[in-house]
Amino acid sequence: MSETSARPPSVDTLARSLVGSGLPHPILVDLARQAIAAGSPESAAACADLFRRTLLTPVVNATGVLLHTNLGRAPVAHTQAARAKTVEFDLATGTRGSRQQAVGQLFAQLCGAEAAIIVNNNASAVLLVLAALAEGRDVAVSRGESVEIGGAFRVPEVMEQSGARLIDVGTTNRTRLSDYERAIVRPGNDVALVLKVHPSNYRVEGFVEDTPVSQLATLDVPVVADIGSGLIDANVPWISGAPPAWLAGEPAAVQTLADGADLVTFSGDKLLGGPQAGIIVGSAELVARCSKHPLARALRCGGLVLAALQNVALSYLDRTVTTDIAFWRMVDQSTESLRIRAERIVDAAGTGTVVDSQALPGAGSAPGVSMPSVAVAVDGDVLKPLRNHEPPVIGRTRDGRTYLDLRSVESDDDTIVIAALSSLAQPSAT
Ligand SMILES: *Cc1c(COP(=O)(O)O)cnc(C)c1O
């Protein structure tokens, strides 16, 4: 080797050699500099590839977890032109309008309530409700519902941040109406509201009792129910056939309000099937107090999310949920149709076997339940080569086999699954 070729390339030359990665020049310069400093300029291309894979990337979710928290929960289709829109503009008067008007009225209609507002996520919704209605006062919560959801949403901590004081009621496994009544009348207490939290991601069994909203509604203070998942109606009128068994026990907005809750809060990106958002729906007076609180400004959504959520609400009102909303489209597929797709995939890829499977709603909704599904199974743990495929395919393993569950895969993506499985057979697979 000659002396000149042993000299490391210049940062600029090395960066230019990486343009094929598609990354912007300043990032390539950084990667090139780091690779040269580490004494291995030849590693720069691999570093560029690794960097590219840290960017937000569309993937095929073949985990069978329909609302996968790490994959963005509900998949949402949304495109829009770069055009001004009436986010805060009243077309009738030509003056400033309310950001909450358009989508709020649709959710109120959908849930059979007087009013609704939209914020950043359900954690924001609960925080705003507590701050607006109970700052400096007491909020009664059952000890069985003082829960942690999704790692960072902990009822006592949200309560603390809101400036409201948590009053624990009842015991971990049993809380009765009389426990709430005692907390409300106890001298020294100043109970502004009762908060009922759906313990979305776990289930207590055995000697348990909670107080239903219909009983809480007889108390002298407003009842706020955090139902979490965003199931709009327990009758699930937007799918063909009866409500699926896996939804039993999942609280729904329409019924919780009909039972007498004054406000209901839920997520936009769980069982609703929309973008990340938090919906507060219920009494016009209480919703108005929430929207007037200074935190409402800090927690509001942008026009992009509002537009996507408006489409979701219109799909529910139009009863086009199982065509328009990916989550419900996946739920609505028969196992027979999944089996046909699986057989086609196995035939085309020349590998794998068709097996029965169990898919999960995910996102902490309906814990401990699953829905029948069909998967393609291949021997060994091939998760990594499937992730390295372009576009990446995310599966799961059990007992030394890899499963690609088709209920969480859009049928349009079956060709990607076929290509990824076919590439496993190639010796070049990484
Ligand atoms: C998921 C969930 C939350 C948190 O909602 P985000 O939209 O993730 O902020 C709060 N409460 C309940 C009951 C939930 O299920």
Is the CATH code 3.90.1150.180 the one for domain 60-74+329-429?
yes
Question: Which amino acid is located at 69 in the chain?
Answer: T
Q: Per mean pLDDT, which of 40-54, 139-153, 353-367 is the most reliable? A: 40-54
Q: Tell me the pLDDT band of 45, cut-offs 50, 70 and 90.
A: very high
Mutate to test the pocket of ligand 1, among 162, 226, 231 (most ligand atoms within 8 A of CB): 226
**Ligand 1 atom with the shortest distance to the CA of 201:** 15
Q: Are 306 and 268 contacting, i.e. CB atoms less than 8 angstroms apart?
A: no
The residue whose CA has the least distance to atom 5 of ligand 1 is 122
Strands 138-142 and 165-169: parallel
Question: Which amino acid is located at 413 in the chain?
Answer: D
In the reported structure, the alpha carbon of residue 122 is separated from the centroid of ligand 1 by a whole-number distance in angstroms of 5
**Pocket of ligand 1 from Cβ distances under 6 Å:** 121-123, 149-150, 153, 197-198, 200, 226, 228-229, 267, 278, 364
The pLDDT of residue 116: 98
pLDDT higher than threshold 90 for residue 365: no
The residue whose CA has the least distance to atom 12 of ligand 1 is 228
Which residue in 71, 17, 35 sits closest to 360, CA to CA? Answer: 71
The residue whose CA has the least distance to atom 1 of ligand 1 is 228
In the reported structure, the alpha carbon of residue 315 is separated from the centroid of ligand 1 by a whole-number distance in angstroms of 23
pLDDT higher than threshold 90 for residue 8: no
The residue whose CA has the least distance to atom 6 of ligand 1 is 122
More confident residue, 128 or 204: 128
In the reported structure, the alpha carbon of residue 148 is separated from the centroid of ligand 1 by a whole-number distance in angstroms of 9
Q: Are 87 and 306 contacting, i.e. CB atoms less than 8 angstroms apart?
A: yes
Cα–Cα separations (whole angstroms), residue 224 to 131, 152, 190, 281, 404: 13, 21, 16, 10, 40
In the reported structure, the alpha carbon of residue 123 is separated from the centroid of ligand 1 by a whole-number distance in angstroms of 6
pLDDT higher than threshold 60 for residue 428: no
Average pLDDT along the chain: 94
Rounded distance between C-alpha atoms, residue 232 and residue 114, angstroms: 15
pLDDT higher than threshold 70 for residue 170: yes
Q: Tell me the pLDDT band of 3, cut-offs 50, 70 and 90.
A: very low
The CB density around residue 303, as the number of other CB atoms within 10 Å, is: 15
Q: Tell me the pLDDT band of 429, cut-offs 50, 70 and 90.
A: very low
In the reported structure, the alpha carbon of residue 266 is separated from the centroid of ligand 1 by a whole-number distance in angstroms of 7
Question: Per-residue pLDDT averaged across 237-244, rounded?
Answer: 91
Q: What is the Cα gyration radius of the chain?
A: 26
The number of residues making up the chain comes to 430
pLDDT (tens digit, 9 = 90+) per residue, 291-327? 999 999 999 999 999 999 999 999 999 999 999 999 9
Mutate to test the pocket of ligand 1, among 76, 122, 142 (most ligand atoms within 8 A of CB): 122
pLDDT higher than threshold 90 for residue 207: no
- Fold classification of 89-319 is Aspartate Aminotransferase; domain 2 (3.40.640)
pLDDT higher than threshold 70 for residue 376: yes
Buried b (16+ CB within 10 A) or exposed e, 57-87: eebbbbbbbbbbeebbbbbbeeeeeeeeeeb
Q: What is the pTM of this model?
A: 0.94
Q: Tell me the pLDDT band of 1, cut-offs 50, 70 and 90.
A: very low
Mutate to test the pocket of ligand 1, among 142, 267, 271, 280 (most ligand atoms within 8 A of CB): 267
pLDDT higher than threshold 80 for residue 202: no
In the reported structure, the alpha carbon of residue 232 is separated from the centroid of ligand 1 by a whole-number distance in angstroms of 15
In the reported structure, the alpha carbon of residue 98 is separated from the centroid of ligand 1 by a whole-number distance in angstroms of 26
**113 φ, ψ (degrees, to nearest 5):** -125, 175
**240 φ, ψ (degrees, to nearest 5):** -75, 135
The pLDDT of residue 9: 87
Strands 401-405 and 396-398: antiparallel
The pLDDT of residue 151: 65
Question: Per-residue pLDDT averaged across 173-191, rounded?
Answer: 95
pLDDT (tens digit, 9 = 90+) per residue, 90-125? 999 999 999 998 999 999 999 999 999 999 999 999
CATH 3.90.1150.180 range(s) for the chain read 60-74+329-429
The pLDDT of residue 43: 95
In the reported structure, the alpha carbon of residue 152 is separated from the centroid of ligand 1 by a whole-number distance in angstroms of 10
Rounded distance between C-alpha atoms, residue 214 and residue 199, angstroms: 18
**Ligand 1 atom with the shortest distance to the CA of 365:** 15
Residue 356: CB partners within 8 Å, gap ≥ 6? Answer: 372, 373, 374, 375
Rounded distance between C-alpha atoms, residue 229 and residue 236, angstroms: 14
Rounded distance between C-alpha atoms, residue 266 and residue 281, angstroms: 9
Q: Tell me the pLDDT band of 377, cut-offs 50, 70 and 90.
A: very high
CATH 3.40.640.10 range(s) for the chain read 89-319
More confident residue, 150 or 126: 126
